[in-house]
Amino acid sequence: AKGMGRNNFQTYVAVPEESHQQRLALESKLRLAERNGELRAYYQPQVSSQTEDIIGMEALIRWEHPELGMISPGFFIPLAEDTGLIVSIGEWMLRTALADTKRWHDRFNLPLRISVNLSALQLKQPNLKDVVERAVRDTGLDAKHVELEVTESINVKGIPNLIETLQSLRDMGCSIAIDDFGTGQSSLDYIRRFPADRIKIDQVFVRNIGVDPDDEAIVRATINMSQQLNRGVIAEGVEYEEHLRFLRDHGCEELQGYLFCRPLPAASFENLLAEREKL
C-alpha cells in the first residue's frame, strides 16, 4: 500500500560531545543559518487510517550546514530554545510551511492541513497571534488549514495566559494539537480545559504496540478519551503494519510514520502529491 519514499533515509552528522567552546561556536553558526538559507522545511504526510489518503503534513525543520552537514533538530532546537533563536526560526518555519502549503493547495486543489510545531518560548511572545495572522495574510492560506502543535511536556505554569493564547489562535481559525501526548504531567482536568482540537499519541506508546500490553492499553484509552472529549486523534511513529492495524481497528483516525513516508524536502513532497494525483 505504501511506497511513499520509504527509502528516503536521512543521515545526520554525529555532533561531537559539546564543550562550552563548541556550543558557543555552534550558537553563532545557528545565528547565521536562517540568513544564509541553511534551514529547510521537510514535510511528513499525515494519512487517514481508513483510506491512507494524505490529509495533511507536519512541517519538520532541518539544518543543512555547508561543512557540518545535516544537523538533527533534536540537537539544535534545544539550543535554539535556550538562546531565544527559536522565536525567529519558528517564524521562518511557519511562513515557509504556509507558503508551501498554499502552493500545493493551488496546484493540487486538495484541502491539505499543515501542522507546525510551536515552542514554549514562542507561546510566551505577546505578539504570537500577530505573527500567525501575518503569515496567514501574506501567504493567502486560509487559517482553517493551519494546525499548531504544542507539546504536552511544556511547563504550562511557566507560560502566562497559555489557554487564552491558544484560544485566540483558534478564534482566528487555526486548530491546536497536543503533541507527544501521554509523556507530560497533565491532569485529566487540565486536558478537559485545554483548548485542543486533536491529540497526538506519542511514539513511545505506538512503538510498543504488539510488544507491551500496558502501552497498548494506554493507546486504546487515549483514543477512547479523545473520542469522548470530541477531539481528533492521530498517532505518530507508525512504523509497522501491525501498528496500522491496531490503531485503525481501535478507531484512531489519522496516522503518521515511516510506514507511510519519511519527512521529505518540499520538492519531493510535491512530487509525491503529483504522483498520487495520477492514481
**Contacts by 218-223, CB closer than 8 A, 24 or more apart:** 218/182, 219/246, 219/247, 219/250, 219/252, 220/250, 222/181, 222/182, 223/247, 223/250, 223/251, 223/252
In order, the DSSP letters of 19-61 are -HHHHHHHHHHHHHHTTTT-EEEEEEEEEETTT--EEEEEEEE
85 touches, from ligand C2E, Ca ion, none (C-beta below 5 to 8 Å by class):
none
Residue 254 phi/psi, 5-degree rounding, is -130, 150
| Shortest separation between residue 53's beta carbon and Ca ion, angstroms | 21
Mark the segment that binds ligand C2E (CB under 6 A) among 86-94, 103-111, 211-219, 266-274. Answer: 86-94
Any contact of residue 222 with Ca ion (CB under 5 A)? no
Residues 139-168 that bind ligand C2E (CB under 6 A): none
Inter-residue long-range contacts of 83-86, CB under 8 Å, 24+ positions, other chains counted: 83/27, 83/30, 83/31, 84/121, 85/27, 85/30, 85/31, 86/119, 86/121, 86/122
* Least distance CB 184 / Ca ion (angstroms): 11
**Site for Ca ion contains 152 (CB under 5 A):** no
Query: Residues with Cβ < 8 Å from 247, sequence gap 6 or more?
Result: 49, 206, 209, 219, 223, 235, 238, 255
- 256 binds Ca ion per the rule CB under 5 A: no
Is 122 an interacting residue with respect to Ca ion (CB under 5 A)?
A: no
Is 49 a residue that touches ligand C2E (CB under 6 A)?
no
- Shortest separation between residue 241's beta carbon and ligand C2E, angstroms: 13
Is residue 179 within the footprint of ligand C2E (CB under 6 A)? yes
Does the footprint of ligand C2E cover residue 117 (CB under 6 A)?
A: yes
Check residue 254 for interaction with Ca ion (CB under 5 A).
Answer: no
Taking the complex as a whole, the smallest distance from the CB of residue 144 to ligand C2E amounts, in Å, to 21
Residues that bind Ca ion (CB under 5 A): 117, 149, 179-180
Residues that bind ligand C2E (CB under 6 A): 44, 59-61, 72-74, 77, 86, 90, 93, 117, 119, 179-180, 203, 236-239, 257-258, 263
